[in-house]
Amino acid sequence: MTVADLFGVRVTGPLLPHAEGFSERLTELGYTRLSAADQLRLMAHLSRWLASRGLGAGQLTPQRAEQFLRARRCAGYASRRSQRGLAPLLDYLRGQGVSPQPMPAAACTPVQRMARDYHVYLVQERGLAAGTIRRYVRDAGLFLTELLGQDDGDLGALTPGEVTDFVLRECRRRGSGSARNLVASLRSLLRFCYLQGHTTRELAPAVPAAASWRGASLPRGVDAGAVSRLLRSCDQRTAMGRRDYAILVLLSRLGLRVAEVAALTLDDVDWRHGEIVIRGKGGRQERLPLPADAGQALAGYLSYGRPAAASRFLFLRMPAPRGGLSPTGIATIVRAACDRAGLPRAGAHRLRHGAASEMLRAGAGLPEVAQVLRHASLATTAIYAKVDRAALRSLARPWPWSAA
């Protein structure tokens, strides 16, 4: 066979042996016939370009892929002229071992090498959540770049005064929450530096505490009436509406975090025992009872809303390529529901606060709330005691000068 005719597209040249497999992959990912044809036209163009230069699929390096895109732009093509547009095809070819994988960027400067080693430490030794690791590494890069610059990376001469001065400078231009995050990041980095021998003494104690009062603020939850409006805003006659409804039910009933919802897979729902597996912070896995209304919402989505896809993630993107929703995608669904319901935009975490507050109002104790929210410490849950006004009212003493 010298020509492949798929979706009305003729593919010739070095990519011909892979055209049928790529076509099947596009179908698995949920591409429509029109979108799949566009991807195959791109494949046909790339294959012709490789053939005109006497190159094979195994010589499609990232540099040559960029050369092809430049040629495509110069030829006047109006679509798929960027790395993003070429990504589905390149991912397929690389996944099949046809084209070489891109080489990771080498850590060439002392700061980059130390940041890379610190990232490995956070993943392998600390087991932190991906979002926490990104924040810690970002703050580490800021600190190391300012303190080391382009020097040889020797932290042995670092003094407690320099650490304190850096924190004070940075915290002056940050809010209280950002300042607390920086302090935590920097203490972690300095402990790592001491363990690895980059510093001769423990400098983490030199990081001053950010000014804050634990529990000074009230958790701002979404009340039951607002939650009902959010749920009613989902059009359950559509696949997207069923998906969004199920996500909102899980957020509001179980108090899940957006990352936990995004990480759910089809295997995490135990229908026989009425439980769901949650992958929380630090790689912890816990089983929670699945409330009846949450189970019904999930069943409706799986039966009539979830598109056919190879992905095992529970909640999928609707447009192709069909893969799991990201935490950002989950948060976007909450904001869109607020807009539809005519409510002020609220972060997804406020549904978690609302779930905790409703449990307290229903008579649950703090230990039960802590178990559902999967808090490592009861002290974290104690802040919700301040929103249980009915219980607090019974503890309040009458004002001395109130009327008898």
CATH topology of 110-206 equal to that of 224-354?
A: no
Burial class (CB in 10 A: 0-12, 13-18, 19+), 315: buried
Q: Does the domain spanning 224-354 belong to CATH 1.10.443.10?
A: yes
Q: DSSP 3-state helix, strand, coil percentages of the chain (rounded to 5)?
A: 60, 5, 35
Burial class (CB in 10 A: 0-12, 13-18, 19+), 248: buried
Name the DSSP class of 278: E
Q: Helix count (H) and strand count (E) of the chain?
A: 17, 5
Residue ranges covered by each domain of the chain: 4-95, 110-206, 224-354
Longest CA–CA span in the chain (Å) reads: 99
Helix (H, G, I), strand (E, B) or coil at 11: strand
Give pLDDT tens digits for 138-185: 999 888 888 776 555 567 778 888 889 988 888 888 877 788 889 999
CATH number, domain 110-206: 1.10.150
Asked if residues 49 and 341 have their Cβ atoms less than 8 Å apart, the reply is no
- Say what the pLDDT of residue 282 is: 63
Strand 4-6 and strand 9-11: the pairing is antiparallel
| Low-confidence residues of the chain: pLDDT under 50 | 1, 213, 215-219, 390-396, 404
Residues marked as catalytic:
257, 281, 349, 352, 375, 384
- Say what the pLDDT of residue 213 is: 47
- Say what the pLDDT of residue 232 is: 95
Give pLDDT tens digits for 72-105: 999 999 888 898 899 999 999 999 999 988 766 5
